[in-house]
Amino acid sequence: MTTRYTKDHEYIRVEGDVGIVGISDYAQAQLGDVVFVELPDVGKTVSKGGEAAVVESVKAASEVYAPVSGEVIAVNDKLPDSPATVNEDPAGAGWFIKIKLANKAELDGLMSEAEYAEYLKSIA
């Protein structure tokens, strides 16, 4: 399983041709307490860089962008009732969607965990 990151602080954990998408610990910390999550419908096609979900916190509303293109094959249906899960476990139980990857080559443009850690240092 490989994890990649975007400059907008989404992650995608890839296993085979399926990716689990969420926001990084840094992103949830910047947002503050998450109070609302809007997820797409299963079966929706998302484009790399396009809106995949919406997350609202006490501070702001923010889009969650798709790190890659593909079809939404599952959503974390626990989040609308328990949005704080995004703060409590962003890389685990706080995932947003699962995507069937349309083009694995799109992963090449994303950062590795080490590259993302360096990126965070550069914006701190």
Is the pLDDT score of 85 beyond 80? yes
Is the pLDDT score of 124 beyond 90? no
- Phi, psi for residue 61 in degrees, rounded to 5: -105, 145
Is the pLDDT score of 119 beyond 80? yes
Over range 76-96, report the average pLDDT: 97
Q: pTM for the whole thing? A: 0.96
C-beta of residue 98 within 8 angstroms of C-beta of residue 68: no
Give the domain 2-106 fold.
Answer: OB fold (Dihydrolipoamide Acetyltransferase, E2P) (2.40.50)
Strand partners, 93: none
pLDDT score at 1: 82
Q: What is the distance between the alpha carbons of residues 108 and 28, in angstroms, rounded to a whole number?
A: 25
| Domain ranges, ordered by start, for the chain | 2-106
Over range 42-70, report the average pLDDT: 96
